[in-house]
Amino acid sequence: MGLSLPGFLLLLGPFTGTGVSGQEPDPVTVTGTLGGSVTLPLQLQAGQPVESISWMSRSSSMAIATVTLAEAGGPDTFHQADTRYWGRVSVVGPGFSLQISNLSWNDAGPYRAHVNLRGSRITRTQEYRLQVYEQLAQPRVTLSSRIGENGHCIFILTCVADSRRGSVTYSWLPRGPRTVVSHGGSVLSVSSGPGDRALTFTCVVKNPVSNSSSLPVSVPSSCPGPGILGGETVGETVTGLLGDLAILPLELPAGQEVEKVTWSSGGLAAVMQRGPGGQPVLAAGTQTLSSRRWHALPDSYSLQIRPLTLQDSGRYRAWITLQSPPINITKDFTLRVYEKLQEPNITVSSQIMKGGTCYITLICSLQQAGEDVQYRWAPLGQGAVMSHGGTTLHVSWRPGASDSYRCTASNPVSQRSSSIPAGPLCSASFLLYSWKKEFLLILILGALQIE
């Protein structure tokens, strides 16, 4: 490409010695955004004429770009070497600074500009250090809680920034006497006691090229006990049958001595400690009225709940306190309680079309379905169509096809089935009865319109 050069010579500041300059300036740090453009600035000052400028990169064995300046007002020449920078480099400004576009992670690193003087072996060198950063997305904040030694609730806010490279700094707004920052600023602990009001916090993440803030996160004024707040399912999922029992299995670290295990769910809590003979027992006075169905198991800190109610469904956390080393470990569970299903009911409508084909619509229903119920039909012949979450089946039936259709309803703890014969549904008497009801309805509606 051609570059216009003013009629006068571009000159550099004074040099010392012959060959490469004896005093090279410190590297210039330049930051750029991933996918964007960056300029490595080069200052040319009056002093001596410049013949050419070569730009070097550690990732290339040859100059990635070279500018040769014309002597008497002729066109300057710009040359790009056949490297991975091809098509992404250019020179800008009166100082012929190097511009790199469409930055990638691999572009980060050291660069060097060699400025060659005309008619001289003196070369002035400028070093650069290019740093590439990404535009930060909105961070996410998770909220958990535990009970402190003084009975106050400790809310723990953890800020997560999706960054493929480091150099991310964290800060929280607002800060106050009830807050403590740890883990490089990404974790905020908030102490809440009786009478304290609810607070709202925002996490701010920054890097050298961008910053972003999380959505505001509210910390409740009351403590729900140890556990993760928000979300549908956490940790290991355990299913139980209404009226039966469920066990939340807890495996402890091998060779570690346990001081206590605090089980909690919502506003309920109970503490297990080592009792007589080394057997875990529920500590006296730690259970509420609703958690008296919680029991310790022999030789285990696992939690047994019996008899189960539908209200027991939810999230549970085991807060394990070790004596040596004195650390805390948590494990989360989600308990799902289901009812045993009753036999489903099948309702029918049918109609004979031309050619003797009978079109049947079957609807499978439960009086009390509950959650996570699935429906399936058998057999499913050619042309059969299920709809409405599997509760409805549309089939075309001819004599000699399946004798009956079966609907099976299931949930994680039970399944029940019902069948209905197909032949009688398409018999003349059945259809005549259906036709008579429809004809009678038409007569009634017609009479009402006449009046």
What integer pLDDT is reported at residue 227 of this predicted model? 42
Domain with CATH 2.60.40.10 in the chain: 2-133, 140-223, 228-338, 345-432
Would the CA dihedral through 291, 295, 301, 304 be positive or negative? negative
Low-confidence ranges of the chain (pLDDT < 50): 1-22, 225-233, 428-445, 447-448, 450-451
The 3-state secondary structure of the chain reads: CEECCCCCCCECCCCCCCCECCCCCCCEEEEEECCCCEEECCCCCCCCEEEEEEEEECCCCCCCEEEECCCCCCCEEEEECCCCCCCCEEEECCCCEEEECCCCHHHCEEEEEEEEECCCCCEEEEEEEEEEECCCCCCEEEEEEEECCCCCEEEEEEEECCCCCCCCEEEEECCCCCEEEEHHHCEEEEEECCCCCCEEEEEEEEECCEEEECCCEEECCCCCCCEECCCCCCCEEEEEECCCCEEECCCCCCCCEEEEEEEEECCEEEEEEECHHHCEEECCCCCCCCCCCEEEECCEEEEEECCCCHHHCEEEEEEEEEEECCCEEEEEEEEEEECCCCCCEEEEEEEECHHHCEEEEEEEECCCCCCCCEEEEECCCCCCEEEHHHCEEEEEECCCCCCEEEEEEEECCEEEEEEEECHHHHCHHHHHHHHHHHHHHHHHHHHHHHC
Distance separating alpha carbons of residues 432 and 204, to the nearest angstrom:
74
What integer pLDDT is reported at residue 24 of this predicted model? 58
Does domain 140-223 match CATH 2.40.37.10? no
Distance separating alpha carbons of residues 47 and 122, to the nearest angstrom:
13
What integer pLDDT is reported at residue 321 of this predicted model? 83
Question: Using alpha carbons only, what angle is made at residue 195 by residues 194 and 197, rounded to the nearest 5 degrees?
Answer: 115
pTM above the 0.85 mark? no
What integer pLDDT is reported at residue 112 of this predicted model? 92
Q: What are the residues whose beta carbons fall under 8 Å from the beta carbon of 381, sequence distance 6 or more?
A: 395, 401, 402
Torsions phi, psi of 432, nearest 5?
-65, -40
* CATH superfamily name and code, 2-133: Immunoglobulins (2.60.40.10)
In 3D space, the residue among 410, 354, 400 whose CA is nearest the CA of residue 377 turns out to be 410
CB 198 within 8 Å of CB 211: no
In 3D space, the residue among 29, 100, 103, 114 whose CA is nearest the CA of residue 63 turns out to be 114
What integer pLDDT is reported at residue 290 of this predicted model? 53
For residue 77, what are the CA distances in angstroms to 66, 90, 225? 8, 12, 72
Residue 2, judged by CB atoms within 10 A of its CB (0-12, 13-18, 19+), counts as: exposed
CB 356 within 8 Å of CB 428: no
The CATH code that applies to domain 345-432 is 2.60.40.10
What integer pLDDT is reported at residue 30 of this predicted model? 93
In 3D space, the residue among 131, 134, 132 whose CA is nearest the CA of residue 162 turns out to be 134
Pairing assessment for the beta strands 199-207 and 210-213 based on DSSP bridges: antiparallel
CA 185: distance to chain centroid? Answer: 21
The CATH code that applies to domain 228-338 is 2.60.40.10
In 3D space, the residue among 264, 229, 253 whose CA is nearest the CA of residue 328 turns out to be 253
